[in-house]
Amino acid sequence: MLTSDELPAAMTAVETLVPTYRKADPPAIAANASAEDALTAIVLGGVAHLRANEACVLARADIEGIHQMRVAVRRLRSSLALYDELLPPQQTAYLTAELRWLIGELGPARDWDVFLSETLAKVLAAVSGEAALKDLKGAAADKRDEAYQRAEAALRSQRYLGLVMLLGAWAEGRRWHDPGTTPPGRPDAMHEPAERIAHALLDQRYETVRHAGRRFSALGPAGRHKLRIQIKKLRYATDFFGSLYEPDRLAEFYADLKGLQDRLGVANDIDVARRLVKALVQPRKGKERARLSYAAGLVVGWHSHVAGDRETGLRLAWRRFLRRPPYWETARTRANGQDGERDLAPTPSPATSGTNGAAPRRRRPAATAAATAASLRRAGAATD
């Protein structure tokens, strides 16, 4: 870990980088790779993605920078969760807690970016000349400045640099084999072929999504938020293991998955906006509070008015996703019907899958990394 004397020099090196953002590249996992080869590539790619956006955030050069840093943290957390049963629990617990701290420091800045650049901007474009909305925009911009100061402090901290260096060393050195660590449930599973592990993990993520989306039309905001999180985890798993599968089938599935996540994301942004405007209004008093309350009502009311059209598209996107066969299987029995209304049979976990309990698999030709990356870009893999 860096000492306090080494920290300023390290951050100066970051700030000399060109302040631009960078999106994640799908890891290139060879057809003959082991499960731990795949994890090493995934984690090192996540660390590179995280660090590539530091300068952009510190310079506030583009709002995409903080977004990409938050995506990188989520991808790293998702990779640890994906391999949870294959890793020493004390290691994953520590790394997950540190990543949770980091996303908590970066999150507010991104929330205010979305509110100002998307949620409020749409209302300003539709409701011109409303002075109260401009007041709300100014108050929100002040809160965003505070949030970016918090994010900057985190990125300049020894805790942050220690975390990214630890993650790199942990993956490079394959420290999950360190003596003295509590072994996972399947200590030899990390040496199994990545394709075998990927199939079981993707199956598990897929069934979790379908289970979370049961009775979709009746799901409230909290239920849809949970569904969106599970969809995002399946997207990340697809990014991680995509090079092991046929690119065109993967791209079709990915496009449906991304479309569904994006539509759910709009609804989530409105829920976040309600929380943000409440935080803006509550400390105010008198006429200022009345003006901001009025503006907040305009924002929430305008988005509620257009929510009906979004709901129709969202339900169609969910049905389209359910009809799309998973790219890692040649065929699949749909036990739930098109709306996923019935309970799902549990999918074998990585701890029980393999020669006993895993669904039959057909060997697939391994796609090249370049072909997979191109397919994912066409499907829109670069967004959160």
User: Exposed, middle or buried, 182 (CB in 10 Å: 0-12/13-18/19+)?
Assistant: exposed
Mean pLDDT of 50-68: 97
Per-residue confidence at 384, pLDDT binned at 50, 70, 90? low
The reported pLDDT for the residue numbered 267 is 81
Residues paired with 34 in a beta bridge: 193
**pLDDT tens digits, 74-91:** 999 999 999 999 999 999
Residues 80 and 50: beta-carbon distance below 8 Å: no
- Evaluate if residue 356 carries a pLDDT over 80: no
Mean pLDDT of 19-48: 95
The reported pLDDT for the residue numbered 145 is 98
Start-to-end Cα distance in the chain: 30
The reported pLDDT for the residue numbered 378 is 52
- Evaluate if residue 343 carries a pLDDT over 60: no
Amino acid at 94: Y
The reported pLDDT for the residue numbered 151 is 98
The pTM for the full model equals: 0.81
**pLDDT tens digits, 109-168:** 999 999 999 999 999 999 888 999 999 999 999 999 999 999 999 999 999 999 999 999
Phi and psi, residue 304, nearest 5°: -65, -35
- Evaluate if residue 342 carries a pLDDT over 50: no
Mean pLDDT of 99-115: 97
Mean pLDDT of 2-19: 56
Q: What is the mean pLDDT of the chain?
A: 84
- Locate all alpha helices (DSSP H) within the chain, ordered by sequence: 7-15, 35-52, 54-59, 63-82, 89-114, 120-126, 131-155, 158-172, 194-212, 221-241, 247-281, 286-305, 307-323, 369-379
Domain boundaries, the chain: 7-379
Label residues 10-31 b or e (16+ Cβ within 10 Å = b): ebeebeeeebebbbbbbbebee
- Calculate the dihedral angle through the C-alpha atoms of 130, 274, 68, 327, rounding to the nearest 10 degrees: -120
**pLDDT tens digits, 135-147:** 999 999 999 999 9
- Evaluate if residue 332 carries a pLDDT over 50: no
The reported pLDDT for the residue numbered 103 is 97
The reported pLDDT for the residue numbered 129 is 84
Residues 299 and 136: beta-carbon distance below 8 Å: yes
Mean pLDDT of 93-102: 98
- Evaluate if residue 349 carries a pLDDT over 80: no
**pLDDT tens digits, 275-328:** 999 999 999 999 999 999 999 999 989 888 777 677 888 899 999 999 999 999
**Least confident stretch, 3-12, 37-46, 85-94, 209-218:** 3-12
Q: Which residue has the higher pLDDT, 269 or 364?
A: 269
Per-residue confidence at 179, pLDDT binned at 50, 70, 90? confident
Mean pLDDT of 360-380: 47
How far is Cα 147 from Cα 112, in angstroms, rounded to an integer?
8
296 CB contacts (<8 Å, ≥6 apart)? 136, 277, 278, 280, 281
Closest CA to 276 of 153, 146, 124, 150: 146
What CATH architecture is 7-379?
A: Alpha solenoid (1.40)
Per-residue confidence at 2, pLDDT binned at 50, 70, 90? very low
- Evaluate if residue 183 carries a pLDDT over 90: no
Mean pLDDT of 236-264: 91
- Inter-CA distances, 88 with 81, 121, 151, 160, 336, Å: 12, 46, 30, 22, 35
How far is Cα 239 from Cα 219, in angstroms, rounded to an integer?
27
- Evaluate if residue 16 carries a pLDDT over 80: no
- Evaluate if residue 33 carries a pLDDT over 80: yes
